[in-house]
Amino acid sequence: MNILVTGGAGYIGSHTAKLLKQEGHVPIAFDNLSNGWAEWARFGPFVFGDIRSEESLYRALVGFKVDAVIHFAAKAYVEESTRLPEEYFDNNVSGSIALLKAMKRAGTRRLVFSSSCAVYGDAQTPTIGEDHPKNPKNPYGLSKWQCEQVINEVAPVVGVHFAALRYFNVVGNDPEGEIYERHEPETHVLPNLMQAARSAASFSLFGTDHDTEDGTAVRDYVYVMDLARAHIRALDIIESRPKLISNVGKGEGVSVRELVHLVEEAVGKKLQVVEHPIRPGDPPRLVADNSYLKTWFNYDFKSLRDVVKDLASFKME
Ligand SMILES: NC(=O)c1ccc[n+]([C@@H]2O[C@H](COP(=O)([O-])OP(=O)(O)OC[C@H]3O[C@@H](n4cnc5c(N)ncnc54)[C@H](O)[C@@H]3O)[C@@H](O)[C@H]2O)c1
């Protein structure tokens, strides 16, 4: 299939494009490079464009005879979203509306949307199922929830089958180490830990008095290539099903302190950890109930220990 990958020059988009190519598809990366890297859009054609431009999207859909869209493009910094909420709603929500309009005009029938566990807000149960209340704690999470609601209303009317995948924390890089997680600024915990492990820098640990076993935040880490595979499976499923709304997580909670120990074990040295107060908007515990995921994607997810071990063995610039 010819698959338009919005945000294809970003972290998860480039990894998914790589897997799509390996599986015989043609990924067309569509990205405005606001937070991506042109050299990562290397697994198929690259279109420089903004998702808020229905016209640019339409031209790409028709020009490349696109069969399906995987929609990663978004602004995705929680803290920034609290300072620039209007930018988040404009980029993420208006961009998704423009995409639906372009798909309607072009007659493109399948869409996989990157949603997030941020739609849930604070967990009211030890693990979070798809029907958990949606109380996003920040404009980023709210923009993702609004996108889901818009897609849910519009897609059936314009003849689009869709999947909304709510990822938990995504980690790791492709087995060949060609591309990797690279955000500027980097706010994600594992790349920051690896950075501290590779240099003399300290690691900033935010929050040591959460209501969790060791006081640090607990998250559910999913390997990026496993997540990429879930997207390809979702594309298959929605060929015959109008919608699929699912968490993508391993269903295992790991605390930041446990993650620090995993990195120390992998690199064979003790890290210098500097403790800071809890960041506003950081929930204590986000762990997926993945029983629904297992009904459509029963996959042996890579262990976090192996992800960390692989990261420690890669040389990155
Ligand atoms: N990384 C995670 O742990 C995680 C967890 C849950 C959900 N998500 C979602 O997954 C998606 C991808 O995340 P990521 O970590 O790869 O982020 P990323 O920032 O690396 O990638 C996003 C890409 O979208 C592009 N982009 C942003 N706005 C655009 C626009 N208006 N037009 C065209 N391109 C635009 C950026 O340039 C970037 O290349 C996002 O939608 C994010 O909300 C990520």
- What does the pLDDT look like over 103-140, one tens digit per residue? 999 999 999 999 999 999 999 999 999 999 999 999 99
Exactly one of 11, 88, 120, 140 is catalytic; name it. Answer: 140
Task: Name the residue of 4, 18, 34, 180 whose CB sits within 8 Å of the most ligand 1 atoms, as the mutation to test its pocket.
Answer: 34
Any atom of ligand 1 within 6 Å of the Cβ of 10: yes
Tell me, what's the pLDDT at 29?
98
Q: What is the pLDDT of residues 11-42, one digit of tens each?
A: 999 999 999 999 999 999 999 999 999 999 99
Instruction: Provide the pLDDT confidence category of residue 315 given band limits of 50, 70 and 90.
Output: low
Tell me: do 199 and 58 sit in the same domain: no
| Percentage, residues of the chain above pLDDT 90 | 91
What is the Cα–Cα distance from 152 to 119, expressed in whole angstroms? 15
Is residue 182 domain-resident? no
Is residue 76 domain-resident? yes
User: Helix, strand, or coil here: 298?
Assistant: coil
**For residue 266, what are the domain limits?**
189-219+251-313
Tell me: do 114 and 210 sit in the same domain: no
Active site residue 140: yes
Tell me: do 28 and 142 sit in the same domain: yes
Tell me: do 73 and 212 sit in the same domain: no
Tell me: do 274 and 237 sit in the same domain: no
Average pLDDT, the chain: 95
Atom 11 in ligand 1: residue holding the nearest Cα? 72
What is the Cα–Cα distance from 98 to 255, expressed in whole angstroms? 39
Q: Which of 204, 232, 248 is the last residue of a domain?
A: 248
**Dist. CA 95 → ligand 1 center (Å):** 12
Instruction: Provide the pLDDT confidence category of residue 9 given band limits of 50, 70 and 90.
Output: very high
Which residue type occupies 68?
Answer: A
Task: Name the E strands within 21-66.
Answer: 26-31, 46-48
Any atom of ligand 1 within 6 Å of the Cβ of 14: no
Any atom of ligand 1 within 6 Å of the Cβ of 13: yes
Tell me, what's the pLDDT at 316?
54
| pLDDT above 80: residue 87 | yes
- Determine the average pLDDT of the residues in 269-281: 91
- Determine the average pLDDT of the residues in 243-270: 96
Any atom of ligand 1 within 6 Å of the Cβ of 183: yes
What is the Cα–Cα distance from 286 to 123, expressed in whole angstroms? 6
Structure tokens, 70: 């995987």
Atom 2 in ligand 1: residue holding the nearest Cα? 170
Tell me: do 166 and 46 sit in the same domain: yes
- Determine the average pLDDT of the residues in 70-83: 94
Q: Residue 271 in contact with residue 205, Cβ under 8 Å? A: no
Instruction: Provide the pLDDT confidence category of residue 317 given band limits of 50, 70 and 90.
Output: very low
Q: Residue 201 in contact with residue 195, Cβ under 8 Å? A: yes
Any atom of ligand 1 within 6 Å of the Cβ of 73: yes
